[in-house]
């Protein structure tokens, strides 16, 4: 293989070589240049080289080494578009810059796979909306501390813009009614959006529970200190709630026996004397009734 340097002062180390082994075997396909380090190709050179690679990508068979080389080279040459688009989100928060670039690269790959030279549009113009869209989707889906419906996520953005515009015009914070009028929404929808906005970020349990007007803590107690604990009696309440309709299905004598045994805490002998039956009969009635109740509780759960 022979190599000749690319004639560009921007990337002196980039080399181009013709390789019959790469594309010569494909009917009607001209040979692709070999780019030693596509990531170092200057943006202006990448634009012209991309046209060559896209032209060949359309005729190369998908899955072949030639197609893979052309596609990978297009990705590496156009990563500058991803860095450019990601720069707009540098101060957005909620994501590391490296993560944003990785997500933007997914958008670049989608643009490469869907680009068609016959559109007569520059690839950069076509690709940037894909890249930005993928990054926006990343922020929308991953930066909320609590998951809320997408319409409320989008409403939060609209509310933030409306509050800023109205605050500038009114020289004060707008009311819910004013926000509703500005966005042509009902007041209930605005309130729902404002409540949902609280799920965008989560506060730490180690934050002071009573911060002063200046933001400084007025006590040493944190939110974790004042959180309640699970009431152990809650399970009993839930069991009784599930048991009530099952008790209603018993006949009068069965309910009376249950009430005497567990409500009045009478012994089986005392229950037998009260009803005029033997202790053994009371035991059988209790066993049968409790078995029915347990089976019903298991079915309910």
Q: Is 5 helix (H, G, I), strand (E, B) or coil?
A: strand
The answer to which of 149-153, 173-177, 287-291 has the lowest mean pLDDT is 149-153
The answer to whether position 234 is within a domain reads no
Q: Are residues 89 and 55 in the same domain?
A: yes
The answer to whether position 291 is within a domain reads yes
- Which of 111, 142, 173 terminates a domain? The answer is 142
- Centre a 10 Å sphere on the Cβ of residue 115 and count the other Cβ atoms it contains: 19
Q: Which residue has the higher pLDDT, 49 or 230?
A: 49
Q: Are residues 78 and 168 in the same domain?
A: no
Q: Residue 14: which CATH number?
A: 1.10.1740.10
Q: Are residues 48 and 27 in the same domain?
A: yes
d(CA 85, CA 114): 19
Q: Global pTM?
A: 0.42
- Scored b (16 or more CB within 10 A) or e, 51-66 reads eebbebbeebeeeeeb
Q: Are residues 122 and 158 in the same domain?
A: no
Those residues whose C-beta lies under 8 Å from the C-beta of residue 141, and which sit 6 or more positions away, are: none
Nearest in space to 209 (alpha carbons), one of 231, 234, 226: 226
The answer to whether position 119 is within a domain reads yes
| pLDDT tens track for 204-228 | 566 665 655 544 545 567 766 666 6
Q: Are residues 90 and 158 in the same domain?
A: no
Q: Are residues 129 and 163 in the same domain?
A: no
How many domains is the chain partitioned into structurally? 3
First CA to last CA across the chain, in angstroms?
Answer: 73
Q: What's residue 10's pLDDT?
A: 35
Q: Are residues 158 and 193 in the same domain?
A: yes
User: Do residues 19 and 34 lie in contact, with contact meaning Cβ atoms separated by under 8 Å?
Assistant: yes
- Which of 142, 171, 195 terminates a domain? The answer is 142
The answer to whether position 202 is within a domain reads yes
Q: Residue 214: which CATH number?
A: 1.10.10.10
d(CA 290, CA 301): 17
The answer to whether position 135 is within a domain reads yes
Judge whether residue 149 has pLDDT over 80: no
Domain assignment of residue 34, given as a range: 4-142
For range 178-192, the mean pLDDT: 89
d(CA 108, CA 255): 72
d(CA 288, CA 121): 82
The answer to whether position 230 is within a domain reads no
- Which of 142, 167, 190 terminates a domain? The answer is 142
Q: Are residues 130 and 165 in the same domain?
A: no
Q: What's residue 36's pLDDT?
A: 76
Q: Are residues 284 and 217 in the same domain?
A: no
Q: Are residues 40 and 131 in the same domain?
A: yes
Q: What's residue 119's pLDDT?
A: 74
Token output for 270: 């005392």
| pLDDT tens track for 13-57 | 333 333 333 333 333 345 678 887 887 778 788 888 888 888 888
Token output for 173: 């914070």
- Torsion (CA) 211, 214, 218, 220 in degrees, nearest 10: 60
Q: Are residues 186 and 293 in the same domain?
A: no
């Amino acid at each position: 293989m022979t190599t000749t340097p690319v004639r560009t002062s921007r990337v002196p180390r980039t080399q181009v070589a013709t390789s019959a082994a790469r594309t010569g075997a494909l009917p009607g396909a001209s040979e692709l240049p070999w780019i030693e380090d596509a990531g170092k190709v200057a943006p202006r050179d990448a634009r012209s080289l991309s046209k060559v690679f896209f032209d060949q990508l359309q005729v190369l068979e998908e899955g072949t080494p030639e197609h893979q080389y052309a596609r990978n080279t297009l990705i590496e040459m156009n990563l500058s578009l991803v860095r450019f688009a990601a720069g707009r989100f540098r101060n957005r928060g909620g994501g590391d810059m490296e993560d944003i670039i990785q997500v933007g690269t997914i958008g670049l790959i989608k643009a490469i796979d869907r680009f068609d030279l016959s559109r007569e549009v520059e690839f950069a113009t076509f690709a940037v909306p894909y890249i930005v869209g993928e990054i926006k989707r990343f922020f929308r889906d991953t930066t909320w501390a609590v998951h809320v419906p997408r319409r409320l996520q989008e409403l939060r953005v609209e509310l933030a813009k409306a509050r800023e515009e109205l605050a500038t015009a009114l020289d004060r914070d707008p009311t819910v009614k004013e926000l509703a009028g500005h966005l042509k929404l009902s007041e209930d929808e605005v309130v729902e959006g404002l409540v949902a906005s609280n799920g965008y970020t989560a506060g730490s349990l180690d934050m002071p529970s009573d911060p002063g007007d200046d933001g400084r803590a007025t006590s040493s107690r944190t939110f974790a200190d004042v959180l309640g604990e699970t009431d152990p009696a809650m399970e009993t309440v839930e069991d009784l709630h599930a048991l009530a309709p099952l008790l209603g299905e018993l006949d009068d004598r069965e309910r009376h026996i249950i009430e005497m045994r567990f409500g009045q805490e009478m012994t089986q002998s005392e229950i037998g004397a009260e009803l005029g039956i033997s202790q053994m009969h009371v035991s059988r009635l209790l066993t049968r009734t409790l078995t029915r109740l347990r089976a019903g509780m298991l079915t309910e759960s």
